[in-house]
Every structure is written in C-alpha cells, then in structure tokens.
Amino acid sequence: MSEMTQPVPIVLIHGLIGDLRIVADSDAFGGAPVLAPNLLGYGSNRGVPATAITLPAQVEWLESAIAARFGERPVHLVGHSVGGAVAMLFAHRHPQRVAALVSIEGNFTLADAFWSASLAAMPPSEAERLLESMRAQPAAWIAQAVQEPPAWATALAADWLALQPASTLQAMARSVVDETGAPSYLDRVREVFARHPVHLIAGERSRSGWDVPEWAWRQAASTTIVAQAGHLPMVDDRQGFPLRLARLLGMAAPEPVHH
C-alpha cells in the first residue's frame, strides 16, 4: 500500500486523569493505526518531574512521539477534555502534522477549567489527599460522570486514577489555567478552525456545561451529541463511541438512514 493510500493515523490525547486505551483497543477504525500515548507525567511517563509538565511541553513531546511512530504523515488528533486543549495547541504549533481535529468536550475557556482551577490552587498535601480519596472510591468517582456505572467501569476508573500522581494533576491543572486563560488562546483556536476541519463531540447530559463559543459551533466541521452520555461518552457508549468516531473521520461506513 502506498503512502498516499494508507489510512490516516489517529492519535488519542487523554484528559487530566487516565488514558484512552478504551477507544484505541476498538477494531472500528478500518485498519488505521491508532496511537494512545501516556502524556508526560502519566503511566509509563509518570517519572517525569512536575516542574517539566506544561501543556506546551506536552505538545512538543507529543510531536516527537508522533514522528517516531508515523514519520511526517499528518494525523487525526482526538483530544478529550484537557486533551482537547493539548490538541488545539498542537494543531496551532504544528499545523502541517494535522489532518483533522476532534474535540471531545475539550477546554475552550476558563469556564471549562473550573476543576483545574480548584486543583491548581490547593496545597500539594490537599491534592494528595483528594486523589487518595478518589482512589479509595473509584465507583463514586466515575459515577459523577457516568450514570449507574457497570463493574467494568469501576475497574477502569481504578486503573485511570492509578496512572498519575497528584503532582502531575496539579502541574497540568496550573498549565490549563495559564494557557486557556491567556487572551491569545481563543485567537489560536480560531486559527486552528480556519486551517483544519474541527469536529465537536459532547455528551447529551454534559453539553450545557461545555463553554464553546458560538462561532466555534457554527464553524465546526461537524457537531455530535452522544445521547444519554456525560463527560465520558467513551464509557457511557463503550461499543458505539469508537464506531461513531470512525464514521466521523471517514474510516467506517456511514450509519444507515432509516426512513
């Protein structure tokens, strides 16, 4: 298969907590290669010191990881929550590396960073206690976003909560506030919308809390609202969400229209 006919790789960028292997492990993407890396401070990269963790640093590390895996091929970026902000910053910094961008309730303004702002302001000891309390009750934690989570979702939540130390969460939270609170952030986002197809995905139950500017809704290449889902649509609709994403990116047949 020539490079021109190879499917566009998909890069999944996780949010403040956890990873996106739940999406990457699907066979919905029609043979397209999928990369779901742990960002700096997470999982295999959790040894990175908190002082080295910022959203711009994540962008540059991600560019290196993408280049190592896919060379110079453009990729589809899919960012969830804070990962949506990383995706926007990546597309602005490295526009030639991006074919399309999908924001799954990604941060647009400080209104989307309310939990990050609270976490960033905590003393480190308080952040440690908060994370330990969430780890002690993973079912209660994920139930804040997923209605009546099944047993597998509770196990997933426990895995997610174990992936990063509190110092990573605080470093990321501070950088989210710094980056999305800067007056230039939305200007950069506008440039990304002007250069690339940007698809917006939200959960039906959480859409109202997503602070997307009206111009972004209008200019989006597509808007998808996942029925009965919250901020974690990949958990609410574990089987259907990867296929929905694959269809959006042209990697699966469109959903039949019933008349």
N-to-C CA span, the chain: 38
71 lies in some domain? yes
Within a domain: 186: yes
Residue 162 belongs to a domain: yes
Helices 82-93 and 185-195: angle between axes, nearest 10 degrees: 70
What is the distance, to the nearest Å, from the Cα of residue 37 to the centroid of all Cα atoms in its chain? 11
Q: Is 138 exposed, middle or buried (0-12, 13-18, 19+ CB in 10 A)?
A: buried
- Say if residues 106 and 85 touch (Cβ distance below 8 Å): yes
Residue 256 belongs to some domain of the structure: no
Q: Is 23:245 a contact under the CB 8 Å cutoff?
A: yes
Residue 5, in any domain of the structure: no
CATH number for 17: 3.40.50.1820
Torsion angle (degrees, nearest 10) of CA 206, 210, 215, 216:
-80
| Domain that residue 50 falls in | 10-248
Does 38 fall in a domain?
Answer: yes
In this structure, is residue 4 part of a structural domain?
A: no
1 located within any domain: no
The dihedral sign for the CA sequence 94, 20, 197, 189: negative
Pairing of strands 198-203, 10-13: unpaired
Question: What pTM does this model have?
Answer: 0.95
pLDDT along the chain (259 residues), means of 10: 73 98 93 96 96 98 98 97 98 98 97 94 98 97 93 97 98 98 96 98 97 98 96 96 94 57
